[in-house]
Amino acid sequence: MSMKAMRRHLFLLLLSLAAASAQQYDLLLQGGHVIDPKNNLDAVRDVAIAGRKIARVAPAIPASDAKRAVNVSGLYVTPGLIDIHAHVYAGTGMAGVLTGDQSVYPDPVVLRAGVTTVADAGTAGWRNFGDFKQRVIDRSITRVLVFVNICGLGMQGKNESDIADMNPEPVTRIARQYKSVVVGVKTAHYPYSDWTAVENAVKAAAGANIPVMVDFGAKHIERPIGALFRDKLRRGDIYTHVFSGLRDELLPSGQINPALIEGRRKGIYFDIGHGGGSFTWNVATAAFQQNFPPDSISTDLHTGSMNSGMKDMANIMSKIHSEGVPLPQVVRMSTWTPATIIQRQADLGHLTEGVGADVAVLRVETGEYGYTDSRGARKVGSRRITAEMTIRDGLVVWDLNARAAEDWRTYYKK
């Protein structure tokens, strides 16, 4: 190599090193409409990620500052979605129960809907929490948090009505020991007319300063929802399946039960928990018309709901947006409010500089779309929300249209 060629080679190398040193961000999302309810942001902004954290949210960040710049103009950029009611204790081989074949591994399902965090809603109890943790929680890309069931073996069927196994003390102990994972206590499917399940769940949660989520089970005159909200639940506790219509949420007159309004005044949260049997259009539509929206959108994900009317988080958000709820409020119900409910405001549900980079990039389309409820009733909606990209801990884990990928012509020239 001649001296002149060597100088030129050295110059290009130094130029390349200088350009690389100027690339302070690993990933840059450019031109998207950012909706970040916690930070009161609803505007076009660029979002820069460095070291798996949100590094900067600002207008017009130069593409040259990033190793990889992605054009997301025309799309919405939000915090990673948080689903606080899912069932993901899969892989045990147990047939016909949620602690087995009815649960769903989270990564193949939720990431493609923009969800970066799920809270498993009581699938495991304190006796099988350890197995759940090593089998699913510790191995998932999705952040998996947990509401521990008040029943020792969780949702294995008949055991959920075993009063002798509703011991608050070991549930509290597990919650304290794994406080980075356990966000609440769950009671569900209780068939009897007494309050044992709810009362013991509240005792367990109180011992760890976490909320209770209640799936109120069978309807009983002896324990109406009014008494549940007034006498049993505390401020910050969660009533899921609010639009089921199975427990007098909607009165025969077509009015929302005043007990729900009183519960909200007390500070109880109301969660959708759509599932395979807990979202009906007659209750949901009446609630929106009477100004009683849910606090949080959640799926109640399991094998029986994901291929029926529920489908995924983005589909439920589409339903709520189609009911006339503004998009920023729908995003709040799917990010910041769930983070608040599970007491994870410091690290989840927002795009504050310095927090972990969990991000959803959403497309919102206008048209005519059919949506079914849990009983198979169809309603036409005018909005459809689709996850274009999902970023978990700074890494692109779902990319519907390969926006973050390098063009093949330049890729194969390397």
Assess contact for 227 and 200: CB atoms under 8 A. Answer: no
Residue partners of 138: CB distance under 8 A and separation at least 6: none
| Residue 106 φ/ψ, nearest 5 degrees | -70, -40
pLDDT of residue 23: 86
- Say how far apart CA 243 and CA 288 lie, in whole Å: 11
pTM, whole model, 2 decimals?
0.94
Pick from 390, 402, 410: which is nearest to 78 by CA?
390
Q: Measuring CA to CA, which residue among 115, 123, 100, 103 is closest to residue 303?
A: 103
Q: What six digits make up the tokens of 287? A: 């609630």
Q: What is the 3-state secondary structure (H, E, C) of the chain?
A: CCHHHHHHHHHHHHHHHHHHHHCCECEEEEEEEEEEHHHCEEEEEEEEEECCEEEEEECCCCHHHECCEEECCCCEEEECEEEEEECCCCCCCCCCCCCCCCCCCCHHHHHHHCEEEEEEEEEEECCCHHHHHHHCHHHCCCEEEEEEECCCCCCCCHHHHCHHHCCHHHHHHHHHHCCCCEEEEEECCCCCCCCHHHHHHHHHHHHHCCCEEECCCCCCCCCCHHHHHHHHCCCCCEECCCCCCCCCCECCCCCECHHHHHHHHHCCEEECCCCCCCCCHHHHHHHHHCCCCCCECCCCECCCCCCCCCCCHHHHHHHHHHCCCCHHHHHHHHCHHHHHHCCCCCCCCCCCCCCECCEEEEEEEEEEEEEECCCCCEEEEEEEEEEEEEEECCEEEEECCCCCCCCHHHHCCC
* Residue (of 218, 93, 97, 89) closest to 156 by Cα position: 97
Show pLDDT as tens, one digit a residue, over the chain (414 residues). Answer: 555 555 555 554 544 544 555 689 999 999 999 999 999 999 999 999 999 999 999 999 999 999 999 999 999 999 999 999 999 999 999 999 999 999 999 999 999 999 999 999 999 999 999 999 999 999 999 999 999 999 999 999 888 889 999 999 999 999 999 999 999 999 999 999 999 999 999 999 999 999 999 999 889 999 999 999 999 999 999 999 999 999 999 999 999 999 999 999 999 999 999 999 999 999 999 999 999 999 999 999 999 999 999 999 999 999 999 999 999 999 999 999 999 999 999 999 999 999 999 999 999 999 999 999 999 999 999 999 999 999 999 999 999 999 999 999 999 987
Q: HSE of 402 in the Cβ direction (CA atoms, 13 Å)?
A: 4
Looking at this protein, which amino acid is placed at residue 63?
A: A
Residue 93: φ, ψ to 5°: 85, 0
Q: Determine contact, residues 81/87, Cβ cutoff 8 Å.
A: no
End-to-end CA distance of the chain: 22
pLDDT on residue 106? 98
Q: What's the rounded Cα separation, in Å, for the pair 149 and 127?
A: 10
Residue pair 53/356 in contact (Cβ under 8 Å)? The answer is: yes
pLDDT score, position 15: 44
Paired strand residues for 239:
214, 270
Q: What is the dihedral of CA 285, 290, 295, 298, to 10 degrees?
A: -10
- Which CATH code of 3.40.50.1370, 3.10.110.10, 3.30.830.10, 3.20.20.140 fits the domain covering 80-352? 3.20.20.140
